[in-house]
């Protein structure tokens, strides 16, 4: 029988950075133990919430549950985390089910030591001294950190935007294109910027709307 992985050391000196390897973790959740390695080969949305039994967090978890099948259709698993205990998570999940008829099917991790919260920059002392802020991280199948966002505790996240960012990352990876603002799945991407005058001239000769803005279908 092997010992569980030790928690990652706190990294309060700086926030995680895009393009870096996601920080390893092993946590106890409402659906059993989970580690970062368990999600290799799939996308992972790791997201923290300030506290159980709070109104905005409850609204988010109901929305995440409603959208879970859409995340899974894109090959993405969900993992929630806060510094509350596992027993508080279990009680909250049961309360959401009984009060709102919403069955939380994704795991919720406890982080009593705050090791994961510190490593991922989820605790912002100016916002609150103990609770995790609303942080969200998209980790790709190879374990790379591809997107991150922090929300104030009073503002809930939009599942539609989380799904859009996930789909955009996958579209960019598959096509080599950049993804424009307000993009939605099925819409065109953009060629990366020209890096030589000759390339810019060639694009300009190709026509509208301009050498520096060249839409191209994401799918062949």
Which active-site residues does the annotation give?
Answer: 57
The total of other beta-carbon atoms located within 10 Å of residue 57's CB is 23
Residues in the chain: 220
Chain-centroid distance, C-alpha 65: 15
Residue with tokens 């988010």: 60
Quick one: 61 exposed, middle or buried, by C-beta within 10 A (0-12, 13-18, 19+)? buried
Tokens of 118: 């510190």
Q: How far apart are CA 172 and CA 205, in angstroms?
A: 25
């Amino acid at each position: 029988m092997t010992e569980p992985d030790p928690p990652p050391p706190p990294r309060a000196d700086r926030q995680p950075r895009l393009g870096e390897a996601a920080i390893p973790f092993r946590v106890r959740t409402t659906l059993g133990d989970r580690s970062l390695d368990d999600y290799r080969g799939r996308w992972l949305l790791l997201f923290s919430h300030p506290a159980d039994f709070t109104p905005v967090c409850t609204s988010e978890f109901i929305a995440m549950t409603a959208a879970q099948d859409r995340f899974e259709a894109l090959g993405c698993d969900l993992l929630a985390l806060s510094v509350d205990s596992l027993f508080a998570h279990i009680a909250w999940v049961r309360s959401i089910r009984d009060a709102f008829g919403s069955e939380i099917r994704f795991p919720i991790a406890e982080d009593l030591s705050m090791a994961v919260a510190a490593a991922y920059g989820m605790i912002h002392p100016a916002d609150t001294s103990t609770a995790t802020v609303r942080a969200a991280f998209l980790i790709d199948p190879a374990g790379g950190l591809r997107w991150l966002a922090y929300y104030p505790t009073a503002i809930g996240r939009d599942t539609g935007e989380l799904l859009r960012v996930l789909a955009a990352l996958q579209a960019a990876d598959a096509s080599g294109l950049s993804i424009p603002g307000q993009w939605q799945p099925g819409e065109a991407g953009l060629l990366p910027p020209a890096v030589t005058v000759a390339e810019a001239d060639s694009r300009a000769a190709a026509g509208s709307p301009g050498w520096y803005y060249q839409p191209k279908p994401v799918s062949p």
